[in-house]
């Protein structure tokens, strides 16, 4: 039902952070400090502002510093999905965590991308636009003109109703902003066992006509390399959004 805010979320935090080396030689990427706080706190704070009660965080690489940090958070309540035995990629990690996420639609957010809200929190805007009768996934989308740190091409094109298709070679389009509402039914059964990408499910939802997007209001930031930290912090400083 549109307007109901999911009570659960999945925070994807298990990646290796290879492009962030040498910083990530000693800490996991979600613990890299940007604007006075670890990257993961930008994502968790967005969930807190949306009223999400519980967040499942997966971890694999150098998990101890992240686990210690998360012990200090109570809003949202944190549950850990341990992938130390095997890094499962974006979709594999969600599939493992499904018993903790439940049977209702849930948020997913990346632990290394975030945004500056304009007025109403973007996750609440996502919840307001969600329609389970038409959608399996509703993605938050960033306009490249209001994004910092992104050097790739656009990911998706949207029709007048917000239904998405792959951008392909077209230059115009939107960036996937690393946040979405997903109905767990799309993973039942999973397309693969073990490690696999969420992109497989994006394409499945496109085939079914059930992948939709909502343009982000505000500014989107991605911090993929050490050089990107200063760029992001300059934007945050101008917006008065640093810790």
Question: Averaged in consecutive runs of 10 residues, what is the pLDDT profile of the chain (243 residues)?
Answer: 81 92 93 94 95 95 91 92 92 95 96 91 96 97 91 89 90 92 96 94 97 96 93 91 66
Length of the chain: 243
- CA within 13 Å, CB half, 207: 7
Can you tell me the distance from the alpha carbon of 157 to that of 162, in angstroms, rounded to the nearest whole number?
Answer: 9
Could you tell me the two tokens for 62? 């150098």
Rounded distance between C-alpha atoms, residue 81 and residue 97, angstroms: 6
Residue 128 pLDDT: 95
Q: What pLDDT is recorded for position 1?
A: 43
Q: What is the pLDDT of residue 42?
A: 95
Rounded distance between C-alpha atoms, residue 138 and residue 132, angstroms: 9
User: Domains in the chain, please, with CATH?
Assistant: 8-238 (3.90.550.10)
Q: Is the peptide bond before 22 cis (omega within 30 degrees of 0)?
A: yes
Q: What local confidence, expressed as pLDDT, does residue 3 receive? A: 67
Residue 161: CB atoms within 10 A of its CB come to 7
Left if phi > 0, otherwise alpha if psi is -120 to 50, otherwise beta: which for 201?
alpha
């Amino acid at each position: 039902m549109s307007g109901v805010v999911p009570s659960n979320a999945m925070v994807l935090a298990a990646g290796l952070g290879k492009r962030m080396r040498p910083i990530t030689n000693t800490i996991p990427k979600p613990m890299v400090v940007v604007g006075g706080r670890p990257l993961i706190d930008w994502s968790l704070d967005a969930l807190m502002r949306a009223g999400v009660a519980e967040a499942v965080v997966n971890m694999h690489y150098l998990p101890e510093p992240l686990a210690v940090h998360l012990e200090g958070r109570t809003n949202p309540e944190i549950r850990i999905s341990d992938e130390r035995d095997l890094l499962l990629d974006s979709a594999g990690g969600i599939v493992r965590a499904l018993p903790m996420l439940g049977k209702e639609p849930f948020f997913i957010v990346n632990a290394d991308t975030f945004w500056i809200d304009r007025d109403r929190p973007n996750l609440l805007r996502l919840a307001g636009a969600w329609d389970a009768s038409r959608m399996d996934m509703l993605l938050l989308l960033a306009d490249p003109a209001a994004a910092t740190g992104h050097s790739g091409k656009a990911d998706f094109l949207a029709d007048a109703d917000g239904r998405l298709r792959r951008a392909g070679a077209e230059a115009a389009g939107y960036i996937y902003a690393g946040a979405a509402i997903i109905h767990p039914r799309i993973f039942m059964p999973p397309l693969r066992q073990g490690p696999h990408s969420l992109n497989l499910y994006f394409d499945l939802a496109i085939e079914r006509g059930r992948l939709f997007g909502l343009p982000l209001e505000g500014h989107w930031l991605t911090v993929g390399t050490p050089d990107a930290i200063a760029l992001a912090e300059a934007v945050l400083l101008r917006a008065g959004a640093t810790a």
